[in-house]
């Protein structure tokens, strides 16, 4: 990938879901470019297609039409196995509901991501660095139900970045957190972006949270309607 070239390039992206006998258009010809190391906030009302866009960029769902290039991979032509590989090393998710595996400790939740990426399970410098950055070293042996919401989200972020993915997709990462924990998580994301050059796309309803990004795009009815 050349310097200055977009790490995510979306052109005329359309996604149509079949609900019963009805076709529902979630994305209607969306165009978007995201540069490496950019922190992009995406805002918009419910049903505007934000999460669908994330699912496609993250390889969880194929596009109906259009072109989606993520870190030199063309998602429109990628097989399911290819999209699975993409999720292992290139793109990772942070969800509103944390989505930690409830039966595993924080350490093992992070280790799962490393295992799936084919990395060593034993803690290494990469693991230690992430744990230190997120301040969760003392909570690693606890299961999610013994962690606060803020701690769970930090573990989820650790899991998402432990393999050094090119792109981090954060879908309302502060949606289930109080103000203090929201701020802490947003600071972590900004820190990751500034110190590690992590490309981050963040969906949020909160204008204050959106302000943490370098730029904000607004979505409505499956399209980007405004961007600064």
Partner 1 sequence: MTIKLVKENMKHRPMRSLLSALLIGVPVTLILCLVGLSHGMVDENNRRTQGIGADIIVRPTGSTMLSLSGGMDERVVGFLAKQPHVAMAMGVVNQAVEGITLGATGIDLDQFNRMSGGFNYLEGGPFRGADDVIVDQYYAEQKHLHVGSTVNILNRDWRVSGIIESGKLTRIALPLRILQERTSNLGKVSQIYLKLDNSSLTNDVVKDLKGLLKDYPIYSVADWTSLFNVNNIPGLQPFTVVIMVIGIVIGFLVVYLSMYMAVLQRTREIGILKSLGASNAFILGIILTEALMLGLGGTLLGIGMSYGAYWLIRTLVPASFPLVIVYSWWPIACGITLAGAGLGALYPGFSAARHDPIEALAYE
Binding site for partner 1 (CB under 8 A): 55, 58, 60-61, 81, 84-89, 92-93, 95, 99-104, 108, 111-113, 115-117, 121, 159
Q: Who contacts 146 (Cβ-Cβ below 8 Å, separation ≥6)? A: none
C-alpha 69 chain-centroid distance = 16
Cβ nearer to partner 1, comparing 58 with 213: 58
Cβ nearer to partner 1, comparing 171 with 210: 171
Picking from 170, 180, 225, 173, the residue whose alpha carbon sits closest to that of residue 202 is 170
Cβ nearer to partner 1, comparing 32 with 169: 169
Q: Minimum distance between the CB of residue 92 and partner 1, rounded to whole angstroms?
A: 8
SS3 118: coil
Q: Minimum distance between the CB of residue 67 and partner 1, rounded to whole angstroms?
A: 21
Q: Minimum distance between the CB of residue 101 and partner 1, rounded to whole angstroms?
A: 6
**Under a CB-based contact definition with an 8 Å cutoff, are residues 16 and 179 in contact?**
no
Q: What is the 3-state secondary structure (H, E, C) of 128-196?
A: HHHHHHHCCHHHCCCCHHHCCHHHHHHHHHHHHHCCCCCEEEEECCCCCCCHHHHHHHHHHHHHHHHHH
Q: Minimum distance between the CB of residue 11 and partner 1, rounded to whole angstroms?
A: 23
Cβ nearer to partner 1, comparing 173 with 210: 173
Cβ nearer to partner 1, comparing 30 with 111: 111
Q: Minimum distance between the CB of residue 167 and partner 1, rounded to whole angstroms?
A: 13
């Amino acid at each position: 990938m050349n310097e200055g070239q977009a790490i995510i390039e979306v052109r005329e992206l359309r996604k149509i879901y079949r609900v019963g006998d009805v076709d529902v258009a979630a994305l209607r010809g969306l165009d978007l470019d995201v540069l490496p190391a950019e922190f992009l906030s995406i805002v918009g009302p419910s049903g505007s297609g934000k999460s669908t866009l994330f699912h496609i960029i993250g390889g969880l769902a194929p596009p109906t039409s259009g072109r989606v290039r993520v870190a030199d991979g063309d998602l429109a032509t990628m097989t399911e196995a290819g999209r699975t590989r993409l999720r292992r090393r290139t793109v990772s998710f942070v969800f509103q509901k944390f989505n930690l595996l409830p039966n595993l400790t924080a350490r093992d939740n992070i280790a799962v991501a490393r295992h799936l990426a084919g990395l060593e399970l034993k803690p290494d410098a990469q693991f230690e660095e992430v744990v230190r950055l997120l301040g969760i070293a003392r909570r690693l042996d606890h299961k999610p139900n013994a962690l606060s919401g803020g701690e769970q989200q930090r573990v989820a972020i650790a899991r998402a970045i432990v393999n050094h993915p090119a792109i981090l997709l954060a879908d309302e990462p502060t949606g289930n957190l109080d103000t203090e924990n929201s701020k802490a998580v947003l600071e972590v994301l900004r820190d990751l972006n500034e110190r590690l050059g992590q490309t981050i796309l963040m969906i949020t309803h909160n204008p204050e949270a959106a302000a943490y990004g370098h730029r904000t795009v607004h979505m409505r009815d499956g399209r980007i309607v405004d961007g600064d």
